[in-house]
Amino acid sequence: MQVNETTIILLKRTIENQGWIELPSEGFSMYPFIRRGDVCRFGVFETVSKGEILLFHTAEGRLVAHRYYKKKEEHYFFKGDTNECMDSPVQKGQIIGKLISIKKKKLVVQMDRFFPKSYGFAVSSTHLTARFFRFLLRRKPGDDSYV
């Protein structure tokens, strides 16, 4: 999703005032954990652990929610679950919020529970998962019904 400076300010203020903001997901970079159309609720970003998902904006004005891998000096490093390479480094000022829940078709996944935390840590600890998830995405070209 493309955003401008005004949109970023509004997103941050909404999280500050309301405590959260909900956004529908797009794309496939976090498949299968987040699927297109899932509604992601982001809250205040204070601390982050390996494998958690943060919402940030890129220098090109894109809004992205990817998994946190590490911090080096003043830069945070993220990667989508199906992406082979890390995103460009992100500074703290580019971070908008932290994923606190995902509304799927018939359930809500709370990110502070055991499974999402364990899953996030496992996915961010190996590079093999990205290849496997990309393989799953390519199984049915042109068919979005499973995503």
Comparison of pLDDT for 129 and 12, the residue scoring more: 12
132 falls in which pLDDT band (50, 70, 90)?
confident
- Model pTM? 0.87
Per-residue model confidence as pLDDT tens digits over 37-76: 999 999 999 999 999 999 999 999 999 999 999 999 999 9
User: Which residues have a Cβ under 8 Å from the Cβ of 98 and sit 6 or more positions away?
Assistant: 42, 43, 44, 45, 46, 48, 52, 53, 54, 55
The pLDDT, as a whole number, for residue 95 is 97
146 falls in which pLDDT band (50, 70, 90)?
very low
Give the chain's end-to-end CA distance (angstroms, integer). 18
Domains of the chain: 5-138 (2.10.109.10)
Based on its alpha-carbon atoms, the radius of gyration of the chain, rounded to whole angstroms, reads: 15
> Are 67 and 118 in contact, with CB atoms under 8 Å apart?
no
